Amino acid sequence: MKIRKNHVRKTYRYNVNRKTLNRTRKSTGKIKDPVMKKLWMENKRVGTNFREMGLAKDPNKSVAIPNYKSERLQYAKIVNSTVENEQEDGEFPTKERPKYQPRRVHVVHQLEALAKERADPEFRLPKGVVKELTYFLSKHKFNYKAMVTDRRNHGQWTWKQFRMKIRKFMSIPEQFNVYLEQQKLPVGIKPDWPEYESDSEWT
């Protein structure tokens, strides 16, 4: 008896944009790093680009895991005298591959130089947090115990949280100097207020 095959009827999907579909299939993705985008060669494969730059596409291949099974096999061959050339001082025969010299070594040096440069921290506190901290500073100054018992402490911050947030606020001159100007205090100088921060006061 001949087996009858059921064929699914092919349908054309009219809702698919073929131009966009082919473009996404052929594209290798966008390079967001401006340095890598400038030095990337589109006419070469991803692995070739990485190898010529001296970078690693797959860290498992660049830093290989030691194969203990092959080492044991070599040791067994030496013990059984199957290896003709005897190794001195217990060294096993290993095959050393010639090191590949990348063509575009300057890429690695340029990336290392950029990594060593210390970027300007762009951390800023949210406007709502700044508004709350300025209120507490104006009312209680550095009295963190009074801040904890304040009615506007809706987040139920502890005295250590208040101290941490205020110190972070003072470490950002772009935001803290605005507060000092509003309070008509010398800009760039920490206010000469008594700070209640000893742990003995909270026992």
Q: What is the pLDDT of residues 140-197, one digit of tens each?
A: 988 998 999 999 999 899 999 999 999 999 888 888 989 988 888 888 788 888 776 5
**pLDDT per residue as tens digits for the range 44-94:** 888 888 888 888 888 887 777 777 888 888 888 877 765 555 555 455 555
Question: What is the reported pTM?
Answer: 0.42
* 124 contact partners, CB below 8 Å, separation of at least 6: 172, 174, 175
Question: Which ranges in 40-186 belong to alpha helices (H)?
Answer: 46-53, 59-62, 68-79, 106-116, 127-140, 144-148, 159-170, 173-182
Length of the chain measured in residues: 203
Return the structure tokens found at 82: 């199957």
